Chains A and B, each alone.
Chain A
Amino acid sequence: NAGVTQTPKFQVLKTGQSMTLQCAQDMNHEYMSWYRQDPGMGLRLIHYSVGAGITDQGEVPNGYNVSRSTTEDFPLRLLSAAPSQTSVYFCASSLRGGTQYFGPGTRLTVL
């Protein structure tokens, strides 16, 4: 099993550009989530999904969109990047009530 994979590892964007952060898991997990990690703020939930076709907002959803068309994939879209979205982004997956497995992260810088 590859576990949870994320691409790209690093990305630099200019303000106003859009992009999609990719996340995939091969463990047939129902639950998938996106977090951002910022110094002094810890890890905060952006969006999550409890299954294909079902998504919901987390603590900091503004400026981000998600969709879940398959069990395996959960992409995160930045609609119009802002410097405040400079962060490290982590994707996670789990079975209901189970251990959460995290991907290696995407380091995003918005200039």
Chain B
Amino acid sequence: KQEVTQIPAALSVPEGENLVLNCSFTDSAIYNLQWFRQDPGKGLTSLLLIQSSQREQTSGRLNASLDKSSGRSTLYIAASQPGDSATYLCAVSNYNQGGKLIFGQGTELSVKP
């Protein structure tokens, strides 16, 4: 059974710092991996989607990497800002699973001015 773990559960950093969020999964036979952002009381916003054949994806200050063989993904946020404060969720989709996502518990990020 696929399990997704995110470390740390919470992170507080000063503004301007570069940071890395970690995601690990137990079954390497994934179809893709997505990183989401969730603000308090809101829905999920997709940040990056990495297909199983890709190693990384970039969007602005965000860079996500994928190492299927080791079952790991990282989300790198450059030059963090207070507006980046939110919960970041990692989710994987397995092959032949019809778009079903298995989520990690999330990392709650606080960026202090």
Q: Chain B at the A interface: mostly helix, strand, loop or mixed?
A: strand
- Scan A95-111; emit 1 where CB is below 8 A from any B CB, else 0: 01111111111000000
Interface flag for B113 (CB, 8 Å): no
Residues of B with C-beta under 8 A to A45: 100-102
Q: How large is the interface on B (under 10, 10 to 19, 20 to 34, 35 or more residues)?
A: 20 to 34
Most chain A CB neighbours (cut-off 10 Å) among B99, B102, B103: B99
A58 to B102, CA, bound (A): 10
A90 at the interface (CB under 8 A from B): yes
Q: Is A97 in contact with B31, judged by CB distance below 8 angstroms? A: yes
B101 to chain A, nearest CB (A): 6
How many contacting A-B pairs (Cβ < 8 A)?
56
B103 near A100 with CB under 8 A, answer no
Min CB gap A58→B, angstroms: 7
Mask, B60-87, CB within 8 Å of A = 1, is 0000000000000000000000000000
> Interface digits, B89-102 against A, CB 8 Å rule (1 contact, 0 not)?
10101000011111
Chain A contact surface mostly: strand
A100–B31 Cα distance when bound, in Å, is 13
* A74 interface residue (CB < 8 Å to B): no
**Closest chain A residue to B1, Cβ basis:** A59
Query: CA of A44 to CA of B104 in the docked complex: distance in angstroms?
Result: 10
Q: Which residues of A contact B104 (CB under 8 A)?
A: 42
Interface residues of chain A, those whose CB is within 8 Å of chain B, are 31, 33, 35, 42-45, 48, 50, 56, 58, 90, 92, 94, 96-105
